[in-house]
Structure 1
Amino acid sequence: MPSEKSLQNLHVAITGGARGIGGEIARAFVARGATVVIADIDIDIATTTAAELGTAVLARQLDVSDPAAFAAFLDEVEATGGPLDVLVNNAGIMPIGPFLDEPDAITTRTIDIDVRAVLTGTKLAGARFAERGGGHVVNIASVMGTMASPNAATYCAAKFALVGFGQALRQEWRGTGVEITTVCPGFVRTELIAGMRANALMERLAMVDPDAVAKVVVAAVTSGRSGEVYVPKQAELLSKGTGVLPGRLRDFLFRIAGGDKVTNTVNEQARADYRRRVAGAEPAERPFGAGVQRNGEAE
């Protein structure tokens, strides 16, 4: 087995790094001696996070859906801090609600952020890494990129795309020194799942804290190998263990386990702030997803 790579003085860029999973990934890299630049559309929160993590962290504003801005961001990162070693494409949004009710603007925004921006960042960083003969791209997908859930069709489509993308590049980049890891977390306890609940079984099988995802990202980079990793480990067993089954049986088992209720049963009051932030707009009279079943809590 190859020895683990040291992260001391590694230069890491993380999109969506202001909070949640991205913030924990930044914290984990800093703890191992890396220097980090966190990029986020919310520069105020990114700046606060960077200040909390210390002088090894810088914050920059970035709309990942703008390819020119993404290229300029990476240029600035390398101009001010030296060659980039790792790019973590973490920025993403998660609209929940019936697909037929989903506004076209939300569908487009999800694909732009969750898919196109990841491909853009991977290409921009990958070109730099290929020229130097080394570097690591980490893309944050989801267990919902390997097994689908109702009322999350666009999100599932986006994450399925990232899983296939990583599998293709793992083969394409073999032997080049450039590595790619696709991380597939379960339901992570962040604002992303605000208003959503899991039963006791799904809590055991698929729920995870953001610091656990960060540990997996750091472990993937220190391994120096491409691959696909799941967190928690039970999520991999759930996904791969049922992946060989006929579709209807797989759907049935998913329902029995309570997986469908995570995205089928939403407390809209608890999710309202996240929906507005994802949409980038002020509250609507009837926000997207308001037709989703409620969990009985006060609205």
Structure 2
Amino acid sequence: MPSIFISGGAAGIGLATAERFAAEGWTVGVYDVSDDALAAVQQSHPDFITGKLDVRDAQQWADALADFTSHTGGTLDVLDNNAGILLSGDLADISPEAVKAQIEIDALGVALGAQAAHRYLKATPGAHLVNIASASAIYGQPNIAVYSATKFFVAGFTEALELEWAPDDIRVVSIWPLWAKTALVADTDAKSTKTLGVRLTAEDVADKVWESVHPTGADKVLRRTSYSVGLQTTLLGNAAKFIPNVLNRGVNKLLSQ
């Protein structure tokens, strides 16, 4: 049966994605840095393969993927680079540790995961790398500047690898949600959570991950690389492509300040 490895998979969008794929008969790997969250998953989903993973550590990535693929006959159909954190606040006010943690988990962790997974994905025909981006990469967002910047990294990284890995028959995509009802959002005071609302659920994002690895029609032929989640993200993303930058800036200032 096909298999998916999910980083940061023990809660929120990661867990919803695990449940979505498991319901379709996939072998699911949930790897996370939180012992408590992993213990809860092991109790509620004993069929999931679970393990400890700090995405900032290349050796832990190698060990985790080796562990998971030992249960799948060495194959990996999808790596879901889901792990991420958000620490809001003006850049002048947050700690250097908060800056470093977001860059290391949300950007470095994505790159290290892709690098470690490449040999497994290359060996599995039609494999996918899924990177969780964000609507905050449509235009840089104040109060979450570092987080927003890491999602610009994810967007560019996805586009680059889509080209780089095409000869290896690995499809690379990114998922672009706006605010979803998860713990990631619960502790942020970004204004856009109020102006735009928190309308998405973790399940909405999980459904889009499922859609992204089952492309049909034009998505498959044209090698679509980005998937917006929800009407708001789609409208904002499309507007940003066509309206003048000064107008785009004004819209984002109105929404976020």
Matched, 1:85 2:77: yes
- Which amino acid in the other structure matches residue 36 of structure 1? V
Mapping for residues 148-159 of structure 1, pairs under 5 Å:
148-159=140-151
Could you tell me how far apart the structure 1 residues matched to 2:158 and 2:121 are? 16
Measured after TM superposition, the shift of residue 171 of structure 1 is: 1.8
Task: Indicate how the Cα distance of structure 1 residues 81 and 132 shifts in structure 2: closer, same or farther if over 3 A, else same.
Answer: closer
Measured after TM superposition, the shift of residue 58 of structure 1 is: 1.8
- Which amino acid in the other structure matches residue 58 of structure 2? P
Could you tell me how far apart the structure 1 residues matched to 2:157 and 2:132 are? 12
| Residue in 2 that maps onto 1:292 | none
Could you tell me how far apart the structure 1 residues matched to 2:103 and 2:41 are? 27
Measured after TM superposition, the shift of residue 200 of structure 1 is: 7.3
| Residue in 1 that maps onto 2:234 | 236
Segments of 5+ residues of structure 2 without an aligned counterpart are none
Measured after TM superposition, the shift of residue 214 of structure 1 is: 0.1
Task: Indicate how the Cα distance of structure 1 residues 172 and 250 shifts in structure 2: closer, same or farther if over 3 A, else same.
Answer: same
Could you tell me how far apart the structure 1 residues matched to 2:32 and 2:194 are? 34
- Which amino acid in the other structure matches residue 11 of structure 2? R
Matched, 1:183 2:188: no
The superposition leaves residues 114-158 of structure 1 with CA deviations (integer Å, 9 ceiling, x where unpaired) of 011101111111222224444111110101112221111110110
Paired residues of 1:134 and 1:176 also in contact (CA < 8 A) = no
* Partner SS state of residue 233, structure 2: helix
| Residue in 2 that maps onto 1:42 | 34
Paired residues of 1:15 and 1:88 also in contact (CA < 8 A) = yes
Matched, 1:119 2:115: no
TM-score by length of 2: 0.89
Match of 2:22 among 30, 43, 50: 30
Matched, 1:10 2:2: yes
TM-score by length of 1: 0.77
Mapping for residues 119-268 of structure 1, pairs under 5 Å:
119-195=111-187, 196=189, 202-203=196-197, 207-223=199-215, 225=220, 226=223, 227-256=225-254, 259-261=255-257
Paired residues of 1:186 and 1:235 also in contact (CA < 8 A) = yes
Matched, 1:76 2:74: no
Percent identity of equivalent pairs: 29
How many residues of Structure 1 are paired with residues of Structure 2 in the alignment? 248
| Residue in 2 that maps onto 1:62 | 53
The superposition leaves residues 82-135 of structure 1 with CA deviations (integer Å, 9 ceiling, x where unpaired) of 222111010000111111222222111111100111011111112222244441
* Partner SS state of residue 175, structure 2: strand
Could you tell me how far apart the structure 2 residues matched to 1:47 and 1:88 are? 21
Rg larger in structure: 1
- Which amino acid in the other structure matches residue 230 of structure 1? S
CA RMSD of aligned residues (A): 2.0
Give the 4+ runs in structure 1 shifted more than 4 A. 197-201
